[in-house]
Each structure stands twice: as C-alpha cells, then as structure tokens.
Chain A
C-alpha cells in the first residue's frame, strides 16, 4: 500500500508541475496586452513599452517562467495590477469566503444526493426514481449563473425570504473576530448567534445553487451504484439468510454506494469550481470566484495564474486524498490475500 501511495504522490507532483507550465504559457499566448490594459486607453506607446519592460513581459518565456517559479517558491504570488494588492494578500482575504461557500455546497450536494438516490432506489416504485432523474437532468442542464439570477429574482426580490446580492453579511453587520475567516464558524466560536444566523442566511442560497451541479452528478452516480449493488449475489445471499430489506440495504448495499462516491470527489471538485465562479459574481460574494471573473476581464495575469495554479493543486490534493481513503476503506486493497 505504501508504494501505491508514493507512486500516486509522484504523479500528483508531476501534474502540478505540468499545470504550472500550462497556465503560464496559456495566459501569455492569449490575445490582449496586459500592459495596455493596465496603462489605460490614454497611455502613450512609450508608457506601455516601459510598463511591459518593468513587468518582464519582454523577456523570453523561459526566463519569465523561471522568475515566476522562483518567486512562487518564496511565497510570492505576484502583484495584482488591477487592485494594487499582492496576490498573496488577495487570496488570504478571499479564500475563506470561497471555502465556506464550497464546503457547505459539498455537504448539501452529498447529503441531498445520497438521500434522494436512496429514496429513489429503496422505494422500488417508479415515480421517485423518475423524479430524482428528472431533477438531476434539470440541475445538470441549467447554467448555474442563470439559476443564480433567477433565484435572486424569485427568492430575494419577489418573495424577500433571502437577502439580495449584498455579500456575506447584511450591511452594517459587524464581522466576527477572524479565526478561520469563515463567518459562520467564527461567529459560532465567538458565541455571536445573531451574526451566525445572518451569515448562514446569506450563505444558504448561493451554496444551494453551487451545489446543483454536483448534486446532479452525485445523485446519478449513487443511484446507479445502488442499483448495481442490489443485483450482486451477496445481496441475495444475505436476504436468503433471513435479513429484511432495510438491514440488507443498510449494511450491504449503501456502503458500496458510499465507497463509489470517493473517486468522484475530484470530478465533484471541478464542478464546484466552475459553478462558484459566476455564482459568486451574481451574489456579490467576495470570494475567489468573483475575484477571478474580474481578473479575467481586467487581464490581470498574476491573479488568474495564481488561481488556476491553486485550483490545480487543490484538484490534485483532493483526488490524492480520495485515492488514499479509497485504498484504506476497501479491504480488498487494504488487506492482502492469503
């Protein structure tokens, strides 16, 4: 098992290295001159040329990449021209907001998918299964930002039961003391129930919308896995021993379904990133997603590059963890044959 983990670790490092090269080259080859964008429409050609030189954009790609990696290793993620902050600072401010949103989305997606798929399969009737499949098709087929706009219109403007696109807290509400940066957690730690309720109220609608894509994907996966496991001989065997339906389902079917969710974690994560990008923008959520959306429009290289690399690292770490967990959870890989 150790050798497997080491092998996977090597692959993970290579993937991150590849991703760093890829994002670096990609951003320098897309049309649009960042120096021109930063200098503004009124700048003279001389100013732009000077700016290009100071940003190192005139060096060849290898030198640029070398400089970039060098500063990365020193913990310097570069400078955001559009905001005037170091990228490191920006990330520090915005990452907790996105993490909070992302974690809640994952929890919502997994819980909802497992419950819906279990109900659909366990009930044995046709309509729950069709309902779940319909819901997942709908969730899969609708662009999250469009749903986000629609949800804002219905739930906050028409019905008024959720806040508008005002970010993480109502205007005038004080932030909780910073521990994790996640407002719900920090307010609980500080015992400020009002702040907690307010933060959760702001979090719920965007988190649910971000969760839609992953829910669609996971509910289908889990449903198919359950149905496959139900056909396994060992399920019939435990029934033949006199186990009733629920214990059979609970002890011999569901664990196989849950195990199958682990390798999906990395795909789920990709879904989550894509979903949160525009949803954050729509809800005015001050996270990585909205920051990235802005940076792309501004051609703010350093920010986009840092976010892409961060995404790649997170993606690789998540799938590595999922793999290790999978290996540890399945006795067939954990315990050798006799």
Chain B
C-alpha cells in the first residue's frame, strides 16, 4: 500500500490445520484451509467470521498457542513456526493478546497493580522501580488510577476490567496485539469507550492489531483491512471499504444482510406507512400505562 508498509509485520501464508475425528482419527476435520494474509505495521486487520469459521484458531496459531499442520507465520521477518520454545518466549513479548472475557483472564486473587506488573516479572524486568513506573504509566493510559489499582478485579465493571486486560497486554510494549472479540461481552455504551481507547492507543503507540471479531460494524469501524472467514477459509479480503461497499462473495453479503436493523432499513421504503400506524397505536398504549405510575 504505502512505502512504510512494504514489509509486513505479520505475514501468514497457507496455514492449514485439521483435527482428527472419530476412532483412530480416520476422519479429519479441516479447520484452516490455506489461510494467508499480510498485516502491516500500525494497521488493523479485521478477521471476521462466525463461530467455527477458524478465526480464533488462526489467532491461536499466531500466538503460538496451537501449532498449525503446515504453513508459514512470519513475524517481523522471523518464521514463528520454526522457533524453539525459548525463542518463542522471547518473541511472545512482542505479541500480546486481549481476550473476550476479561473475568477469565484476570486472576481474582491478585490486585490489579500486581496483575499488570506480572508480565514484566515473567519477562525478566528485574528493576522494581522500573516496573512500577511502567505499570502506573500504562494504567494511567487506559484510565485506571494508581489508587484504584490496589483493588482486586471483582471491584471493577466489565468495561474497566477490559481496560485492565489491555493494560496488561500493553505493559511489555508489544508490536502486535491480537484482540480476540475484546468488546463483544460489553454493553454498547461501554463498547464505544473501549473501542475508542484501542484506536487512540494504536495512533499514539503505532500498534498493529489483529482484530478477531464477529460484529461487522465493529470490524468496519476499527479495521484498515478485512478478511472474511468461513469454514476455515478466507472467502473475501481487501480494504475495509472494498469488502463492505463492493462485496463480491455471497457469504459476506449474507453476513451483512443479517445484521439486525440493516435488514429493516433496506426494506423500509416499502413499509414506512404501515410502520407509522403500528407505532402510533403502540405509543398510545404505553403512554396510558406510564401515566398510571
């Protein structure tokens, strides 16, 4: 695209993975079929699909949490699939992940400050003054005060817990952050806060996001590029605007058409008159009821 992004930060090529099924593994279920994409520095790739599409497995492969059967995962020029355990551990520092359910990823027995500090200890930052400086810096950045950070995760709302999870991912100064449905467990009003935070962080810190998401609207809002996955395959890929405005694949079309509200708006012209009548009648009923309060 542009000159700066000539070499991608993450390049995935022909990733394949299948699971054995049944007795003796006679049948194999292919969950990734030749998955290939490139992700450039400072950009967001939205990996869109429904459950079972393979989007989360792709993320797990990139994180080194599961091994692919074949294919290449190249991060900053290094093939992750050939790295030793120790090599992968060093690389892990540069690739962090934020999960859907912040409750599951935050150990309730530790204070928030401890939780955010932990990755630094794990990755051998021995200077404790340096650690606490880094922790307060990153907590401040996600909007959690140092005083609040002495509390335990359960004392926080879902949105705040997701901020804490983001802080935990960012404390190591990663290059790539894999976001696995980071807002789908949150309310709409909170969702917007977290999405805004993620966008700001990306702009300020030059982060690169691999954004796993099922919500098309969120995908479009956040992503420079989109890859649509179905049954282990990328069926359509391109820039955000291309995929959404010039949809070519019927599956993408089906996904777009299924979004509640979008369908109604499409059909709105036809039924506008009828709707108004219904609405008028309905309001009358409700208004009567509330006056009785």
Give the B-binding residues of A (Cβ under 8 A). Answer: 2-3
In the complex, what's the smallest C-beta–C-beta distance from A91 to chain B, in angstroms? 39
Distance of A2 Cα from B23 Cα, bound (Å): 9
3 contacts between A and B (CB under 8 A): A2-B23, A3-B23, A3-B24
> When chains A and B are docked, how far (Å) is the Cα of A2 from the Cα of B24?
11
CA distance A3 to B25 in the complex (A): 11
> Min CB distance, B21 to chain A, in Å?
10
Across-interface contacts of B24 in A (CB, < 8 A): 3
Q: Which residue of A lies closest to B21 (CB)?
A: A336
Minimal Cβ-Cβ distance residue in B for A6: B23
Q: Which 3 residue pairs are nearest across A and B when measured between Cβ atoms? A: A3-B23, A2-B23, A3-B24
Query: Residues of B contacting A2 with CB < 8 Å?
Result: 23
CB distance from B41 to the nearest CB of A (A): 42
Instruction: Report the nearest A residue to B23, measured CB to CB.
Output: A3
A2 to B22 CA separation, bound complex (whole angstroms) = 11
Cα(A87)–Cα(B250), bound, Å = 77
Min CB gap A10→B, angstroms: 15
* A116 vs B123: C-alpha distance when bound (angstroms): 52
A122 to B23, CA, bound (A): 42
Give, as a whole number of angstroms, the nearest-CB distance from B137 to chain A: 42
In chain B between 1 and 51, which residues have their CB closer than 8 angstroms to a CB of chain A?
A: 23-24
Chain A residues with Cβ under 8 A from B23's Cβ? Answer: 2-3
B19 nearest CB across to chain A (Å): 14
How far, in Å, is B24 (CB) from chain A's closest CB? 7
State A3–B24 Cα separation when bound (angstroms): 8
Separation of A3 and B23 alpha carbons in the complex (Å): 7
The docked-state distance in angstroms from the alpha carbon of A3 to that of B21 is: 13
Residues of B within 8 A of A3 (CB): 23-24
**Which B64-93 residues have C-beta < 8 A from chain A?**
none
Name the distance in Å between A64's Cβ and chain B's nearest Cβ.
41
Measured CB to CB, the closest approach of chain A to B23, in angstroms, equals 5
Nearest CB on B from A203, distance (A): 46
Closest to B22 in A: A336
Chain B's nearest CB lies how many Å from the CB of A161? 52
The B114-138 residues at the A interface (CB cut-off 8 A) are: none
| In the bound complex, CA of A136 to CA of B23 (Å) | 43
Query: In angstroms, how far is the closest chain B Cβ from the Cβ of A4?
Result: 9
Tell me, in angstroms, the Cα distance from A38 to B24 when the chains sit together.
Answer: 55
Q: Which residue of B lies closest to A3 (CB)?
A: B23
Chain B min CB distance to A255 (Å): 28
Name A1's closest neighbour in chain B (CB-CB). Answer: B23
Nearest CB to that of A4 among chain B residues? B23
Cα-based distance from A236 to B53 in the complex (angstroms) = 32
Distance in angstroms from A236 CB to nearest chain B CB is: 21
B22 to chain A, nearest CB (A): 8
Q: Which residue of A lies closest to B24 (CB)?
A: A3
* A304–chain B nearest beta-carbon distance, Å: 42
Q: Would you give the shortest CB distance from B35 to chain A, in whole angstroms? A: 25
**Distance between Cα atoms of A53 and B24 in the complex (Å):** 52
Q: How far is the CB of B25 from chain A (nearest CB, A)?
A: 10
Across the two chains, which residue of chain B brings its CB closest to A2?
B23
Complexed CA–CA distance, A193 and B23 (Å): 54
Q: How far is the CA of A3 from the CA of B22 in the complex (A)?
A: 10
Cα A183 to Cα B24 in complex, Å, equals: 49
> Residue on B with the closest CB to A336?
B22
How many Å lie between the Cα of A196 and that of B24 in the bound state?
A: 53
Q: How far is the CA of A82 from the CA of B12 in the complex (A)?
A: 74
Q: B257-292 interface mask toward A, CB cutoff 8 Å, 1 = contact, 0 = none? A: 000000000000000000000000000000000000
User: What's the least CB distance linking A238 to chain B, in Å?
Assistant: 26
Chain B proximity of A216: nearest CB distance (Å): 29
Give the distance to chain A from B204, nearest Cβ to Cβ, in Å. Answer: 43
Report Cα–Cα, A3/B26, bound state, in Å: 13
In the bound assembly, the distance between CA atoms of A263 and B24 in angstroms comes to 26
B143 to chain A, nearest CB (A): 34
Complexed CA–CA distance, A268 and B24 (Å): 34
Whole-angstrom CA separation of A125 from B132 in the bound complex: 50
Complexed CA–CA distance, A264 and B24 (Å): 29
CB distance from B229 to the nearest CB of A (A): 22
